[in-house]
Structure 1
Amino acid sequence: MDATITAAVLNTAPGPLRLEELRLDEPTDREVRVRVAAAGICHSDLHEIDGTFPTQTPIVLGHEAAGVVEAVGSAVTGFRPGDHVVSCLSVFCGECRYCTNGQLVLCTKRGDLSHRRPRPRLRNAAGQAVRPTAGIGAFATSMLVHENALVGVPADIPPATASILGCAVTTGLGAVLRTAAVRPGQDVVVLGAGGIGLAAVQGARLAGAARIIAVDIHAAKLDAARHCGATAGVDARHVDPVAAVRELTDGGADHVLEAVGTSRTVMQALEMLRPGGTATVIGMVPGGRPVEIQGTDFFLQEKRLQGSFMGSNQFKVDIPRYIELNRQGRLMLDELVTHTVTLETINEGVAILAAGEATRVVTVLDAA
């Protein structure tokens, strides 16, 4: 049977999230219904709320979540009621050419898994379909997702900590360890010391980077980056960050991870590289915002510019490994969550994130 849930719905963009009662359909086939315990607020959510990225409303946002399985579809074999899980938006089919090549984040059939079903997942009081973002829709008391959007986690991990594994941690660590494949002894710069940036700093530390330089405009975030393993911090409010990085690295870094998402910071990332270096763009640069680059950076200096979607992750493998690193004291997770809000105060959490001071804001619904 379907269920009545409470969700924070975006009905107009830009606009606030409004709490509504929705009808959540019952699981079919390979679907899993999860009681949401905590859901992180990501910058991609903020960009849909403020209209930076176009979106189709009404929609329930939220994609990095921790919760407990309530019910499963008839074809689900990997989960059962009572299991603790984390959601990740890089749901995969497991059959297309990218999945079989290990590039799960590039799955070409993700939309089929998330949206094609006999009935809408969510309906409002008027009977209108409400779209769950990325087939997840975590800003709700329960969500209905494909089993390939979930990974099991130990029950003793605090929900707020577990939730950020689904995006911020996986994206930042994966960008360093999977996409950029940083090697021991290399110099790494991370532009932006939010949740993803701090995860990237830790990834560089785990990879054995020699110098790890964090760049941000907030002193508190630079302090947090040093706590996570950065060897130096550059306050871009007061100095030219490109000149500062070049001085600290004797001419340029081997890798620059861009975790801000603006055309300007992508260009700065290229300028911070040594010849032969690689800039990896993690941040979501809005569509229609061109990035101007110098051709000589490529054919004379062999610099490389690449993107990283969700850290090129294989989250069903990666997240259990990150949990083990955390248990060993080698990966900080609790420290990345700086603010928590409730579903009723979620708009306050959005405002905190927009102000730029927070590392990660998490909506806590249930102590699980």
Structure 2
Amino acid sequence: MRIRGAVLDRSGADRPYADSAPLSVVDLELAPPGPGEVLVEVEAAGVCHSDLSVIDGARPRPTPMLLGHEAAGRVAALGDGVSDLDVGQRVVLAFLPRCGSCAGCASAGRFPCVPGSAANAAGELLGGGRRLTLDGAPVHHHLGVSGFATHAVVDRRSVVPVGDAVPAEVAALLGCAVLTGGGAILNAGAVAPGESVAVVGLGGVGLAAVLTAVAVGAGEIVGIDPVPAKRATAEALGATRTLHPDEAGGLTVDCAVEAAGAAPAVETAVGVTGPGGRAVVVGLTHPDARAAVSPLHLVSGGRSIVGSYLGSSVPSRDVPRFVELWSAGRLPVERLVSGHLGLDGLNAAMDALADATALRQVVTP
């Protein structure tokens, strides 16, 4: 079928992206869903730093690639063997599929699915291969989703159904920002009621961590970010106080979540982790980035550093948990949305993201 989507031809384009236009919105061909696959009509997709990091080259991926990995939509068709979904059902698209049988899947979310990670790195679906072509040439999938499009074919294992009561933009953000930031609190950080939390980096993922910390009854919740507007947003969402990174000296918390994807933020998170505490690192830094950490600081205080991809989440397990919190009014995910746009506005949206002037911009294809 003919669809419309935003395709990245190359990484490393000059800024501003509104002028260099690394993303081209084009018509391309999408094959029908094969066995074990689902065709989804995309309703909403969030603009995330993991998309930007492919554009700027910090996360090298094969191109051409149809970007977008945080999305939700309605089932439009089912491939052979898919009998547990209904056409018309709203679903969250999860960017880390789980095969269910590898060592990663046996870890209850502690580390990623091995075949799923390999498929994502290759720009393929979990079942193998690509379903997108442009002028007869193959186009790679972004993290098994490619949500910056009118439609997507995904592996059934990349899909989590939700009820119609969950708005499309909320469902989309559940697939990345909330699974990552919220999962850092629920899973990797295992924050108990009354424990103190610091969140370093107050973008969409960091603010999802703040919301989740509030939802689980954390005690002091400190937001740390150099941008005053982001600190103000964190306070509005329930942070008990906020700090510039330069003001974090002397702070100690039970759990620190790094959500900035930068080495200095990792150093700040480890630095504010108190004795017996844990620093959870969920931000994706440039491959060459290095952070300086004192081994004595870890050993003398019994501190731990936990690397956590997707918040150590299992989408099929954790999306329903977050839906339950949202339904109870305890996780107002919609407050993370800072703007709406169409596919044609994506290049400018990437500028806003790079300039730290937007939280979660939502694309309606």
Q: State the TM-score, normalizing by the size of structure 1.
A: 0.92
Distance 1:278 1:142, change over 3 A: same
Bigger mean CA deviation after superposition, 347-356 or 163-172: 347-356
**Counterpart amino acid of residue 164 in structure 1:** L
What does 1:266-285 correspond to in 2, within 5 Å?
A: 266-285=266-285
Report the alpha carbon displacement of residue 192 of structure 1 after superposing the two structures with TM.
1.1
Aligned to 1:124: 134
Distance 1:333 1:357, change over 3 A: same
Aligned to 1:79: 85
Distance 1:152 1:105, change over 3 A: farther
Q: Could you give the per-residue CA deviations for residues 56-95 of structure 1, whole angstroms, max 9, x where no partner exists?
A: 1100111111111111111112212111111011211111
**Counterpart amino acid of residue 33 in structure 2:** P
Aligned to 1:181: 190
Aligned to 2:42: 36
Aligned to 2:233: 224
Aligned to 1:98: 104
Which of 141, 158, 164 is the matching residue for 1:149?
158
Q: Is this contact kept in 1: 2:130–2:141, CA < 8 A?
A: no
Report the alpha carbon displacement of residue 28 of structure 1 after superposing the two structures with TM.
0.9
Alignment gaps of 5+ in structure 1: none
Query: SS of 1:131's equivalent?
Result: strand
Q: Is this contact kept in 2: 1:90–1:105, CA < 8 A?
A: no
Query: SS of 2:139's equivalent?
Result: strand
**Do structure 1's residue 322 and structure 2's residue 332 form an aligned pair?**
no
**Counterpart amino acid of residue 59 in structure 2:** F
Bigger mean CA deviation after superposition, 317-326 or 225-234: 317-326
Partners in 2 of 1:52 and 1:211 — Cα distance?
A: 34
Report the alpha carbon displacement of residue 112 of structure 1 after superposing the two structures with TM.
5.2
**Do structure 1's residue 4 and structure 2's residue 2 form an aligned pair?**
yes
Distance 1:308 1:241, change over 3 A: farther
Q: Is this contact kept in 2: 1:218–1:357, CA < 8 A?
A: no
**Counterpart amino acid of residue 268 in structure 1:** T
Q: Could you give the per-residue CA deviations for residues 177-198 of structure 1, whole angstroms, max 9, x where no partner exists?
A: 1001012222110011111111
Aligned to 1:50: 56
Aligned to 1:167: 176
Q: Is this contact kept in 1: 2:111–2:308, CA < 8 A?
A: no
Partners in 1 of 2:128 and 2:325 — Cα distance?
A: 41
Report the alpha carbon displacement of residue 281 of structure 1 after superposing the two structures with TM.
0.5
Report the alpha carbon displacement of residue 36 of structure 1 after superposing the two structures with TM.
0.7
Report the alpha carbon displacement of residue 105 of structure 1 after superposing the two structures with TM.
5.2
Q: Is this contact kept in 1: 2:75–2:88, CA < 8 A?
A: yes
**Do structure 1's residue 19 and structure 2's residue 25 form an aligned pair?**
yes
Query: SS of 1:344's equivalent?
Result: helix
Report the alpha carbon displacement of residue 321 of structure 1 after superposing the two structures with TM.
2.2
Bigger mean CA deviation after superposition, 316-325 or 259-268: 316-325
Q: Is this contact kept in 1: 2:110–2:308, CA < 8 A?
A: no
Partners in 2 of 1:52 and 1:364 — Cα distance?
A: 26
Distance 1:362 1:105, change over 3 A: farther
Query: SS of 2:301's equivalent?
Result: coil
Which of 205, 208, 233 is the matching residue for 1:199?
208
Report the alpha carbon displacement of residue 118 of structure 1 after superposing the two structures with TM.
7.4
Alignment gaps of 5+ in structure 2: 14-21
**Counterpart amino acid of residue 120 in structure 1:** R
Q: Is this contact kept in 1: 2:125–2:155, CA < 8 A?
A: no
Report the alpha carbon displacement of residue 304 of structure 1 after superposing the two structures with TM.
1.0
Q: Could you give the per-residue CA deviations for residues 327-362 of structure 1, whole angstroms, max 9, x where no partner exists?
A: 221111111001111011111211111110211111
Between the two proteins, what is the percent identity of the paired residues?
Answer: 36
**Counterpart amino acid of residue 61 in structure 1:** L
Aligned to 2:290: 290
Paired residues, number? 353
Q: Is this contact kept in 2: 1:91–1:105, CA < 8 A?
A: no
Q: Is this contact kept in 1: 2:119–2:144, CA < 8 A?
A: no
Q: CA RMSD in A?
A: 1.7
**Counterpart amino acid of residue 8 in structure 1:** A
Which of 210, 231, 234 is the matching residue for 2:219?
210
